[in-house]
């Protein structure tokens, strides 16, 4: 029976050759990720109550990224809970203030195509860019996985998202995903999405991570991209395991729940208005919106390539005195690379304010929170009411190009227009 | 399992930041619960009573994996959430902590304050004032097992002989 990639991975994880949508199966989890907000802090009391150990510490990753760096005694204690947990339970893959889990796992070569990845965070689907089935789970589910190495799942229907055409200059995976949120809505619950087509094939791994990351905003449980040369090159570059990786692609005649077809040839920059990623329109629809804060951060929007996109716009410009530009690189390794290649210097020369790596303002927990009535334009992935601070603040979402261009003007700006006006002035 | 309480009515897309705001996530479960739904109804946490039933529209619980979204409702004593549809992680979280969640669209049928009686075993819902009646979709047996054990932790304890 031909199968989608989703089915193939779940079948392998439950020790079968095929599975059908709707079946309830028990799977062996290949990798469990817990972060400081929902992992060790929630796991430890429950493990102690059950007198249990981790089923396999080598398959557990702990990342402290939500409450970093500590800003008060409570957050400092939460970080210590993670440190003690990693030590006492033998977790070697512990990343303490090294960056955001969804950027750490690909960067450190922890993902292997075909894996069933369970993460205590809703953006766990990011790992789908490496041909993994990766889904978010709550703290009780992840506790049960930590003890048994197993969980139940209903085999989801798979939606095929076929994306073709060449993206224009300064048009990114972020624009594609914001557009897709509007086209598909955010209620694709209990469905897996598989991205394919010439646009996806041409995307770098950094851009593919954006696609899979924002499958969460579609409401999908996973957002998977089949393995190709780009996947294998990324695995080689990060010390990941790529043996047999090329097998993790969907069967050509697999059955899909539905197919969504997009032609991105004419796609312009997209912006999502408050308070949902599906409130998306062309950037021009928001040209009058003044922004108090521009934020480049989060797992989805502060990887090295994202910072490079912003730097390419900001080179030779200054951040408008009417706004502020905050940059929180996704990982410390991104900071290191951006420092080495000059990207950071470009950003700071333009007046950007550097923040520590972590979930930060995106999760409403770290530096960069906004006040009542303030407007933020952000490279992050969701803009629910109250998420980035006050419930009566407004968060708009866009690509790093658009956020950087808007930082220069102080209002939401098409990055292509900024380039044109700069050329004309020169 | 029988749940009887007053209806609280909400719309579509009640997300996890509305149920458990990030800025209150360091508080105790009781402290966090006081902020539950405040962005859409500032009085909810103050006025909700044990057993009350939350009725909502589509995609309830979308967003974060934070289990506190479900725990906050349970901490306030909410007896069940009846929504047109649920986001997957919230749905699992609610079952795992023993909060009954049923996919049913009642937003056009009931009014705030209506007293509803939910019989999960029989799969029925009744409005007391006029006997309005609905059949519920049967739950998969393994989900009923978790709810009857009192949640996933309680079930794990049983399995481990604790």
Q: Choose the final residue of a domain: A263, A297, A318.
A: A263
Parent domain of A290: 270-425
Instruction: Kindly report, residue by residue over A113-122, the tens digit of the pLDDT.
Output: 999 999 999 9
A189 CB neighbours in chain B (<8 A) are 59, 62, 85-88, 91
Interacting residues of B34 by C-beta distance below 8 A, sequence separation 6+: B24, B45
Taken in order B8, B14, B15, B17, the sign of the CA dihedral is negative
The CA-to-CA distance between both ends of chain A, in Å, stands at 61
- Which contiguous run of DSSP H or E holds residue A311? helix A304-314
Helix (H, G, I), strand (E, B) or coil at A169: coil
* Number of domains observed in the structure of chain A: 2
Taking the CB of residue A258, how many other CB atoms lie within 10 A of it?
A: 12
Q: What pLDDT does A423 receive? A: 67
Give the best residue of A26, A33, A47, A140 to mutate against chain B (max B CB count within 10 A): A140
A231 and A254 in a common domain: yes
Q: pLDDT of B3-51, one tens digit each?
A: 999 999 999 999 999 999 988 988 999 999 999 999 999 999 999 999 9
pLDDT in tens, B50-82: 999 999 999 999 999 999 999 999 999 999 999
Give the mutation candidate from B56, B65, B152 for the A interface (greatest A CB count, under 10 A): B65
Residues A334 and A303 in one domain: yes
Among residues A204, A232, A263, which one ends one of the domains?
A263
Phi, psi of B54 (to 5 degrees): -90, 125
Of A229, A263, A297, the domain-final residue? A263
Which chain A residue is nearest to residue B159, measuring alpha carbons? A50
Q: How many domains does chain B have?
A: 1
Tell whether A231 and A111 lie within a shared domain: yes
Same domain, A353 and A213: no
pLDDT class for B142, splitting at 50, 70, 90?
confident
Taking contacts as CB-CB distances below 8 angstroms, the residues of chain A near B156 are 50, 143-144, 147
| Res A425: pLDDT | 66
pLDDT of A50:
95
Same domain, A275 and A173: no
A239 and A360 both lie in a single domain: no
Whether chain A has a CB inside 8 Å of the CB on B45: the answer is no
Which pLDDT value is given to residue B10? 98
Please give the distance of CA B12 from its chain centroid, rounded to a whole number. Answer: 14
Which residues in chain A have their CB less than 8 angstroms from residue B149's CB?
none
> A305 and A242, same structural domain?
no
Q: What is the CATH number of the domain that holds A26?
A: 3.30.499.10
Q: Are residues A127 and A20 in the same domain?
A: yes
Asked whether residue A206 falls in the same domain as residue A170, the answer is: yes
- Given a cut of 70, the residues of chain A with pLDDT beneath it are 423, 425-426
Count of beta carbons in the 10 Å neighbourhood of residue B158: 12
Instruction: Provide the pairing of β-strand A24-28 with A133-136.
Output: unpaired
- Look at residue A426 in the predicted model and tell me its pLDDT: 54
Residue A308 shares a structural domain with residue A219 = no
Residues A360, A253, single domain; the answer is no
User: DSSP letter at A129?
Assistant: G
Print the domain residue range for B147. 2-159
pLDDT tens for A239-295 read 999 999 999 999 999 999 999 999 999 999 999 999 999 999 999 999 999 999 999
pLDDT digits (tens, 9 = 90+) for B119-137: 988 899 999 999 999 999 8
**Same domain (yes/no): A212, A283:** no
Counted across chains A and B, CB pairs separated by less than 8 A come out at 124
Q: Do A37 and B67 touch (CB under 8 A)?
A: no
Residue in chain A closest to B28 (alpha carbons) equals A74
Give backbone dihedrals phi and psi of A109, rounded to 5 degrees, phi first.
Answer: 70, 30
- φ, ψ at B161 (rounded to 5°): 70, 30
């Amino acid at each position: 029976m031909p199968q989608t990639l989703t089915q193939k991975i779940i079948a392998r994880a439950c020790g079968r050759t095929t599975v059908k949508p709707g079946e309830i199966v028990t799977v062996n989890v290949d990798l469990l990720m817990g972060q400081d907000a929902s992992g060790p802090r929630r796991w430890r009391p429950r493990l102690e109550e059950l007198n249990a150990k981790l089923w396999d510490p080598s398959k557990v990753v702990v990342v402290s990224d939500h409450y970093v760096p500590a800003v008060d005694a409570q957050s400092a204690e939460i970080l210590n809970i993670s440190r003690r947990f990693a030590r006492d339970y033998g977790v070697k893959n512990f990343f303490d203030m090294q960056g955001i889990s969804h950027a750490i796992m690909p960067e450190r070569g922890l993902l292997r195509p075909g894996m069933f990845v369970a993460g205590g965070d809703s953006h766990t689907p990011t790992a789908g860019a490496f041909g993994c089935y990766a889904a978010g789970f709550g703290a009780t589910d992840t506790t049960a996985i930590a003890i048994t190495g197993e969980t139940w799942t209903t085999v989801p229907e798979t939606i095929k998202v076929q994306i073709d055409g060449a993206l224009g200059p300064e048009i990114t995976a972020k624009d594609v995903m914001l557009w897709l949120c509007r086209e598909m809505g955010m209620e694709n619950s209990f469905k897996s999405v598989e991205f394919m087509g010439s646009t996806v094939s041409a995307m770098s791994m950094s851009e593919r991570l954006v696609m899979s990351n924002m499958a969460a905003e579609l409401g999908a449980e996973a957002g998977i991209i089949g393995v190709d040369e780009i996947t294998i090159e990324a695995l080689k570059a990060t010390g990941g395991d790529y043996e047999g990786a090329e097998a993790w692609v969907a069967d050509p005649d697999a059955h899909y729940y539905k197919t969504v077809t997009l032609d991105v040839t004419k796609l312009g920059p997209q912006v999502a208005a408050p308070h949902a990623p599906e409130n998306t329109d062309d950037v021009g629809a928001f040209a009058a919106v003044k922004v108090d804060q521009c934020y480049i951060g989060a797992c989805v929007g502060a990887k090295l390539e994202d910072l490079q996109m912003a730097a390419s716009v900001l080179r030779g410009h200054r951040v408008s005195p009417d706004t502020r530009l905050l940059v929180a690189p996704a990982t410390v390794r991104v900071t290191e690379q951006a420092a080495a290649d000059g990207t950071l210097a470009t950003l700071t020369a333009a007046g950007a304010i550097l923040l520590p790596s972590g979930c930060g303002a995106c999760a409403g927990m770290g530096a960069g929170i906004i006040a009542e009535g303030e407007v933020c334009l952000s490279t992050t992935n969701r803009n629910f009411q109250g998420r980035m601070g006050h419930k009566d603040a407004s968060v708009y979402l866009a690509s790093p190009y658009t956020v950087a261009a808007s930082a220069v003007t102080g209002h939401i700006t098409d990055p292509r227009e900024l380039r044109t006006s700069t050329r004309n002035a020169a | 399992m029988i749940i009887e309480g007053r209806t609280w009515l909400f719309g579509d897309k009640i997300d996890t930041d509305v149920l458990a705001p990030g800025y209150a996530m360091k508080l105790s479960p009781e402290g966090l619960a006081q902020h539950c739904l405040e962005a859409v109804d500032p009085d909810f946490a103050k006025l909700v009573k044990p057993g009350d039933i939350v009725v909502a529209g589509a995609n309830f619980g979308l967003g974060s994996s934070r289990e506190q979204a479900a725990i906050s409702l349970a901490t306030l004593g909410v007896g069940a959430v009846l929504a047109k549809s649920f986001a997957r992680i919230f749905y699992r979280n609610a079952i795992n902590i023993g909060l009954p969640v049923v996919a049913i669209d009642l937003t056009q049928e009931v009014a705030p304050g209506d007293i509803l009686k939910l019989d999960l075993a029989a799969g029925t819902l009744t409005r007391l004032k006029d006997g309005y009646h609905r059949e519920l979709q049967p739950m998969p047996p393994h989900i009923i097992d978790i709810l009857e054990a009192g949640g996933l932790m309680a079930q794990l304890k049983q399995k481990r002989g604790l």
